[in-house]
Amino acid sequence: MAERLIYLPLGGAGEIGMNAYVYGYGAPGKERLILIDLGVTFGDMDGTPGIDLIMPDMTWLEKNRDRLEAIFITHGHEDHLGALGHLWQRLGVPIYARQFTGALVRLKLEEMGHPGNTVNITGARPEVTRIGPFTVQFVPVSHSIPESAALIIDTPAGRILHTGDFKLDGTPVVGDPFDPEMWHEIANEGRGVKVLACDSTNIFTPHPGRSEALLADPIREWVLSQPNLVVATTFASNIARLKTLAEAAIAAGRKVCLLGRAMRRMVSVGMETGVLTDFPDTISPEEATNLPRNQVMLIVTGSQGERRAASAQLSRGRYLGLQLKEGDSFLFSSRTIPGNERGVSRIMNALSELGVEVYDADDGFYHVSGHANRPDIEALHDLLKPRIVIPMHGEHLHLREHVQLARAKGLAAEIAVNGNVLDLTGDAPKIVDQVETGRVYLDGTVLIGAMDGIVRDRIRMALNGHALVSVIVDEEDNALPDAWVELMGLSDRTRGGADLAGHIEGELAEFLEGADARTVGNDAKLDEALRRITRQVSMEEIGKKPEVTVIISRLMAD
């Protein structure tokens, strides 16, 4: 059978986050594979209470690991590399990344006890990595973290351009500016670009993207006009922004204090790898407390409302000796990621209650996006002239919109969501197979499956409460009549003011007294009956059907 070129997203297609894209080339079912990115997404109380991280299920790739050549990491964001520490060992292949990204990958691996030297540091195009049927180049692109890269993946079936996350920024403050000449070259080498796999995040944003460099003046003006302590928060990994903020502080005669482990780490990796130069000297929180308030600027983590980050801590009161007051100013130099609105709003209101003036970036002066907007995506289509567009890095709505945009330009395009196997060999992409995909959760220190029922049980307990029923059955299969009921997360009083647990115990005792030996002697039957009564009484008395756990203790004859 003829060889073919396939694309298989295992994460990131039909969602924003948890990126993991497979490309394959070879005979059907025997394609040699590479994986692009291995990221996480973050849970929320609605769907995944208590879950620390969400990762793509690697079962399929693990089963096919003898076909997997390598993992390429486009950039250092958690949604592109955050799962490496937890899942790399199951795949066990070399990792390729540029220097700054590679340093972050190493930290991830080493934190989990894996050897950091599995990472191969690779230079930007024209350097190439030849592996299996693939020849891969890292193409510098602008994004909200230094050293982001698109990938050129040359295969016998043609050239793929996988954008990773990108924007078109000629003046990105830190990192490589957009270079139209180079992209023109990429489009015109050999047979040109066959497939463009393209970031879709901002497909609904109608205006052209704005440059990081546009922020320097407004931010400096803003800092200059503030009378007391100034605080700014942004994404820890947005090193260009950190630099802009820090330089604004210096221009206003203030010292810079970085709060938050992630932020200090990013700055230090940035300096070690040489991507960040001329970053102003910083002071410690202790030094900051000893300076007049109008001579300090704090740059802090927690722009997304994370409860344990520095922003949240400061909004709740004293943090590392620092305390915000009436007349201080707090800037969110960031966009609130959809889903985080409640958390961010909670912090902003708490700051307002402290008397702090809160500034957000809604008017566009203090934040620009790291992703290409709709006209920029169109510009890339026009520049690269691909035959096929595969939208990625988007929810279903984004992918649909991106496909419509591409088709309107006469390009072949297809929606492929996680698990779809897309054949890219011909002129038009075709979904030819479907692979089981899913999510794996990091819960504490163990990995659990999304379908294991563990999280479902947590959600049920959170919605319905949990009733525990304990009964003891003696050596002769007689239930001792005093069932014991404990309620957790449930009102202990009925509508009429009675004791709910006591009331259920009474009903259970009555049942047990009359129950026949066949029921009492059978764990499943007894469990079922006690559960039913508990739920029924609870429904009648407080209008809720709790989760019920029954513990039957059977006494053994000595």
The nearest distance, CB 474 to a second copy, in angstroms, is: 9
Nearer Cβ to a second copy, position 323 or 349? 349
CA–CA separation, 471 and 480 (whole Å): 7
The nearest distance, CB 4 to a second copy, in angstroms, is: 26
Nearer Cβ to a second copy, position 28 or 339? 339
The nearest distance, CB 101 to a second copy, in angstroms, is: 28
The nearest distance, CB 476 to a second copy, in angstroms, is: 13
The nearest distance, CB 442 to a second copy, in angstroms, is: 9
The nearest distance, CB 421 to a second copy, in angstroms, is: 18
Nearer Cβ to a second copy, position 386 or 394? 394
> Which H helix or E strand runs over 443?
strand 439-443
Burial of 5 from C-beta contacts in 10 A (0-12 / 13-18 / 19+): buried
Q: In this structure, what are the phi and psi dihedrals at residue 12, rounded to the nearest 5 degrees?
A: 95, -10
The nearest distance, CB 464 to a second copy, in angstroms, is: 6
- The 3-state DSSP class for residue 517 equals helix
The nearest distance, CB 160 to a second copy, in angstroms, is: 25
The nearest distance, CB 47 to a second copy, in angstroms, is: 8
Nearer Cβ to a second copy, position 114 or 400? 400
Nearer Cβ to a second copy, position 253 or 502? 502
The nearest distance, CB 447 to a second copy, in angstroms, is: 9
Q: How far out from the chain centre does Cα 463 lie?
A: 25
- The 3-state DSSP class for residue 47 equals coil
Nearer Cβ to a second copy, position 184 or 396? 396
Q: For the chain, how long is the longest CA-to-CA vector?
A: 88
Q: In this structure, what are the phi and psi dihedrals at residue 364, rounded to the nearest 5 degrees?
A: 90, -5
Nearer Cβ to a second copy, position 67 or 466? 466
Residue for token digits 């903020």?
245
The nearest distance, CB 344 to a second copy, in angstroms, is: 10
Nearer Cβ to a second copy, position 179 or 527? 527
Contact call for residues 96 and 136 (beta carbons, < 8 A): yes
CA–CA separation, 152 and 92 (whole Å): 23
Neighbours of 213 (CB within 10 A): 16
User: 84-91 vs 99-111: helix axis angle to the nearest 10?
Assistant: 90
Nearer Cβ to a second copy, position 252 or 490? 490
Q: How many helices (H) and strands (E) does the chain have?
A: 17, 28
Neighbours of 379 (CB within 10 A): 18
Nearest in space to 298 (alpha carbons), one of 313, 312, 282, 279: 282
**In the numeric block, which tokens belong to residue 410?**
């006469």
Query: Would you call the peptide bond into 9 cis, given omega within 30 degrees of 0 as the criterion?
Result: no
Q: In this structure, what are the phi and psi dihedrals at residue 394, rounded to the nearest 5 degrees?
A: -170, 160
User: 500-514 vs 523-542: helix axis angle to the nearest 10?
Assistant: 140
The nearest distance, CB 488 to a second copy, in angstroms, is: 5
Contact call for residues 74 and 27 (beta carbons, < 8 A): no
Amino acid at 156: P
Q: In this structure, what are the phi and psi dihedrals at residue 199, rounded to the nearest 5 degrees?
A: -45, 130
- Written as one string, the DSSP assignment of 261-279 is HHHHHHHHHHHHTTS--SP
Nearer Cβ to a second copy, position 27 or 112? 112
Nearer Cβ to a second copy, position 224 or 555? 555
**In the numeric block, which tokens belong to residue 363?**
């008017």
- The 3-state DSSP class for residue 409 equals coil
Residues that bind a second copy (CB under 8 A): 14, 44-46, 49-50, 204, 338-339, 341-343, 345, 348-349, 352-353, 358, 362, 395-397, 400, 443-446, 448, 452, 454-455, 457-459, 461-466, 468, 470, 472, 484, 486, 488-491, 493-495, 539, 542-544, 547, 549, 551, 553, 555
HSE-up of residue 284 (Cα within 13 Å, Cβ side): 4
Nearer Cβ to a second copy, position 517 or 551? 551
